[in-house]
Chain A
């Protein structure tokens, strides 16, 4: 059963160049496969005699939905929880945040769609750019940020007062833009299909989401998140409350989602990070109460086979925490 996961990863990576070329270059190559504008840029670069890798180093990443985190620090009141993170998140790929508890990876994840500041007293500084637009710029509405950057939580949380169908449509219903008739049916089917849940629930769309298993509920939450057409899907330990079979289903789904969305996932499961992610970012903290910091990030294969920092190696080998 576990064999299917590496297979699906292999498939996702088939179109990509070898992993040793550096994250940014690979992103551009990914963009060449996917986007018209990206391939035009690449062509220009080649015609101009510029190495595409160099272009990638200079210019904005090509795949849509790519993010650039710069100087981001997160606070709870006066307490500094995450200090000065700089990280490039490639578009349409899976990026995993790993690290010990309290290292701020979930906090940083919540800062990406400005959910961090929902907690009273919490705030974040620095800049997080999505396709070049700074989400923390003055005048940017956090509500609109969240519709572009969706989120899936640790515990499956379908809305209990809504049917399965309405859960998928929830984002639109809450905004007072409930689609009706065939438009609604199509959207529901498309999102549930996308979340690998359609076949299991198509006969009971009117039932409450409570009637589903934990793994199904989590996939329903993913369908709900993508129904509002975000560019990025953030997942905060989405499998930690699930059994291995459900976890496997979600992992396959994450790989699949990365074809259309930028996926950022926080996980405590090292093997999972290794299986599903293209990029891994390792966070750690000096000691309890100290702010969490980004220790190292890079291609997942590199991080897991040849980490540059000793702390990363210790953590991955299980000699830490």
Chain B
């Protein structure tokens, strides 16, 4: 990974998903790496009542110049990383624009209305095709399948961070990730998280 420059300032990244997927850890890991390198970082998080099976969203603002507000203005997300496909679309509808880079896990987590059979969650392949008609560069990757192959679905967030690293739009690298994750998790968990990061890196 060569060092990347911000395409815009502030550069706006949204990490979204469903409560319990590790969305907040992903945004704090990323924010922490960037702050350490001297960027002015703001992370706005929406969790709380929504953390239990609800939509969760973190807004990351990365700048060399200003402290941006904890909420990205609508239509101004430069990157959307989603741990769940319907959440990717929900966030894209509010914060996306034709130049937004969209990277999402393709494994659905069903809302309670779908579980009950009151609503339908259409096949993700159909959603993917429809999204690509308006945003051809959108990427849907099988992060949950890969996480399960590594032994735990909770690794999805780290796989998605690895995939984000490969896109070369946010200035961080594997070494910085390793240092950040080592500072947060027990030593025994480092190897599997690095494996997950590398797996994600190889998926885009």
A and B form one complex: no
Binding site for A on B (CB under 8 A): none
